[in-house]
Structure 1
Amino acid sequence: MAGPAAGTSRLLRGGMGAAAVGLLLIYNSVDVAPSADPGPGQAAPPAATASASPGAVGPAAAAKPAAAAAPAAPALKRAKPTRLRIPQIAVDAPFTELTLNPAGQLNAPPPEDKNLVGWYRDGAAPGERGAAVVAGHVDTTKGPAVFLLLSLLVPGNKVEVQRADGTVAVFAVDSVETFAKDTFPDQKVYGKTTDSQLRLITCGGVYDKKRKDYLDNVVVFAHLESSRKA
């Protein structure tokens, strides 16, 4: 997201293959000219904290330690997500539903709420078969936001999604990667899956004042490990 003094800008520049509808989405949000550079500690963590991959950028991009993948749990029935918890980075946030604007672009979560995550409601729900997409701001005009520390997650960390049906879907992180927005790998991130997976997405890397945008996206890849009653 854009610098805290500026409001927010595009989260995703690449297209997103929406499940079953084949739409191209671009995650846009408010684009306001910055009045100052992002303040210390308010921009996204450096891209070097995310694992390198095809399309990853940053001279210091380095792979994080691999963890043994936990077996995937059976997919759950569809249910709306209500709350996201990631204890390792102190995330405890409610969900809002993300929809498309008339241009076929995905609307971002409201920028005035820095502790809010968005779920693309026309795609898979977290816990359902497919790759559920959850996005959040890294910062807003009010300062650091919900996904400020997203790139610090490592394989094996747990992501919990409370759902409207009274269940909690528990995901295990598989990898954390950083991609240049101009070469975002749509198929890798949004492609169809045979099990239940989760994608957590925010901005990262360098903030470009001319573009009013961060140059990269941080993407967390995770799979459903288990579920329980809330």
Structure 2
Amino acid sequence: MRRRFRRDGGPGNTAIAAVTALALCAGMWLLHDGTGTHAPPQPSAAQAHSGSGRHDTGGSAAPALPPSPPDRVRIPAIDVDAPLTGLGLTGTGSLDVPPAGRKNLAGWYEAGTTPGETGTAIVAGHVDNADGPAVFYSLGALDKGSTIEVDRRDGTVAVFAVDAVEVYDARDFPDAKVYGAAGRPELRVITCGGGYSRTTGYRGNVVVYAHLTGSR
């Protein structure tokens, strides 16, 4: 039986990992450019989790918010200010992706945890398209402690702090670490990374780990 998403962000989240690594990562701009010299920034080792725990950067989480769909994501440190569209599952049970032609559009898994409630919320977006850099082109340049804000449909803004930024080869994507259940409100922001090949596109994914620190 295929494992699918559950509202609590549990084991069903692992169903999307491989497709996220593939569907977001064609690298059409670099392929068209032909040089690969404009590859997006990748996180340094200093931005990864520094210990064995998932939450090793310190700081307590704010109280969870009630469920509410998100409408917009902002990451001031890398000039992201983008609308969010709901993402469902494809016919094969994998996570769909935002339309490639809308480069400033990100998506969230709308059958999963909403950003701000207890659990692991998932946001994904393209790093580039055929015309150039897309919404999460600079995601790999984020530092620990950076702020991510999510406008929610109930009028609140969920404020997250970045705990770590890591890059994974598609063959070694840590499903449970990225998509596993969380006992506090957490957010994952995912795009392509891990080097680039003209034959296969991007080799993996950049993943930002963040937790809720407040709301307004």
Taking structure 2 as the reference length, the TM-score comes to 0.83
Q: Which whole-Å deviations, capped at 9, do the CAs of 1:97-136 have from their partners, x for residues lacking one?
A: 1111111111111000110111011110100111100001
1:19 aligns with 2:16: no
CA distance in structure 1 between the aligned counterparts of 2:139 and 2:68, rounded to whole angstroms? 24
CA distance in structure 2 between the aligned counterparts of 1:185 and 1:98, rounded to whole angstroms? 21
Residue 219 (structure 1) aligns with: 207
Q: How far does residue 18 in structure 1 lie from its aligned partner after superposition?
A: 2.3
Paired AA for residue 34 in structure 2: D
2:41 to 20, 41, 45: 45
Given that 1:29 and 1:107 are in contact with CA atoms closer than 8 Å, whether structure 2 keeps it comes out as no
Given that 1:204 and 1:215 are in contact with CA atoms closer than 8 Å, whether structure 2 keeps it comes out as yes
CA distance in structure 2 between the aligned counterparts of 1:105 and 1:183, rounded to whole angstroms? 18
1:136 to 112, 115, 125: 125
Given that 1:49 and 1:152 are in contact with CA atoms closer than 8 Å, whether structure 2 keeps it comes out as no
Given that 2:165 and 2:207 are in contact with CA atoms closer than 8 Å, whether structure 1 keeps it comes out as yes
Q: How many residues align?
A: 201
CA distance in structure 1 between the aligned counterparts of 2:151 and 2:132, rounded to whole angstroms? 26
Given that 2:49 and 2:163 are in contact with CA atoms closer than 8 Å, whether structure 1 keeps it comes out as no
Paired AA for residue 209 in structure 2: F
Paired AA for residue 190 in structure 1: Y
Q: Which whole-Å deviations, capped at 9, do the CAs of 1:59-93 have from their partners, x for residues lacking one?
A: xxxxxxxx953320111111010011111000000
More helix by share: 2
Query: Cα gap change, 1:76/1:44 in structure 2, threshold over 3 Å: closer, same or farther?
Result: same
CA distance in structure 1 between the aligned counterparts of 2:168 and 2:42, rounded to whole angstroms? 12
Q: Which whole-Å deviations, capped at 9, do the CAs of 1:146-197 have from their partners, x for residues lacking one?
A: 1111111111111000000000000000011111111100000000001100
CA distance in structure 2 between the aligned counterparts of 1:94 and 1:76, rounded to whole angstroms? 20
What SS is found at the alignment partner of 1:128?
Answer: coil
What SS is found at the alignment partner of 2:186?
Answer: strand
1:158 aligns with 2:147: yes
Please provide the CA RMSD for this pair.
Answer: 2.7
Query: Cα gap change, 1:73/1:17 in structure 2, threshold over 3 Å: closer, same or farther?
Result: farther
Percent identical residues: 47
Residue 58 (structure 2) aligns with: 69
Query: Cα gap change, 1:31/1:194 in structure 2, threshold over 3 Å: closer, same or farther?
Result: same
Q: Which runs of 5+ in 2 are unaligned?
A: 51-55
Q: Which whole-Å deviations, capped at 9, do the CAs of 1:10-50 have from their partners, x for residues lacking one?
A: xxxxx996234826122225969845525543x22135477
Q: Which runs of 5+ in 1 are unaligned?
A: 1-14, 55-66
1:190 aligns with 2:187: no
CA distance in structure 2 between the aligned counterparts of 1:30 and 1:178, rounded to whole angstroms? 13
Residue 86 (structure 1) aligns with: 75
Q: How does 1:94-173 map to 2 (within 5 A)?
A: 94-173=83-162
Moved more, 202-211 or 168-177: 202-211
